[in-house]
């Protein structure tokens, strides 16, 4: 069974640009959650999508958005990038968001210069 995949793995962007990250969950999983990891703030929840609907949202500005497609693949978008957006972005998938099976992808490391 293939694991959670994230693309791209590494990304370098300039302040003011926008970026789109992709996450493909494990087959059969309908919930995808996104997290931002930084040395200062640790791991913080961004949002969760379930059956193409945003079910939960963390405390991030509106520049951070996401969506989920009918095949459960999810994308997150960050507009008007700031230096502080440099982080490891992780996604996790689970069948329904309520089970203990929450598996993470390898992450996308975003550097904003």
Does 66 help bind another protein (rule: CB under 8 A)? Answer: no
CA distance linking residue 51 with residue 14, whole number of Å? 33
- Minimum distance, C-beta of residue 101 to another protein, in the bound complex (Å): 8
Q: How far is the CB of 80 from another protein (least distance, A)?
A: 25
CB of 17 to another protein, least distance (A): 23
72 Rama sector, left if φ>0, alpha if ψ -120 to 50, beta otherwise: left
Our finding on whether 109 is near another protein (CB under 8 A) is: yes
- Asked if residue 8 has a cis previous peptide bond (ω within 30° of 0), the answer is yes
Closest CA to 87 of 60, 54, 112, 110: 110
Residues touching another protein, count (CB under 8 A): 28
Footprint of another protein on this chain (CB under 8 A)?
31, 33, 35, 42-43, 45, 48, 50, 55-56, 58, 88, 90, 92, 94, 96-107, 109
């Amino acid at each position: 069974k293939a694991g959670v995949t994230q693309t791209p793995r590494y990304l370098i962007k300039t302040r003011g640009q926008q970026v789109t990250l992709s996450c493909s969950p494990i087959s059969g999983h309908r919930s995808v959650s996104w997290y931002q990891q930084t040395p200062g703030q640790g791991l913080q929840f961004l949002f969760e999508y379930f059956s193409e609907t945003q079910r939960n949202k963390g405390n991030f500005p509106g520049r951070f958005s996401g969506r989920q497609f009918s095949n459960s693949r999810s994308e997150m978008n960050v507009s008007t990038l700031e230096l502080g957006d440099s982080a490891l972005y992780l996604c996790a998938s689970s069948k329904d968001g309520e089970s203990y099976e929450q598996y993470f992808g390898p992450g996308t490391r975003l550097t904003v210069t």
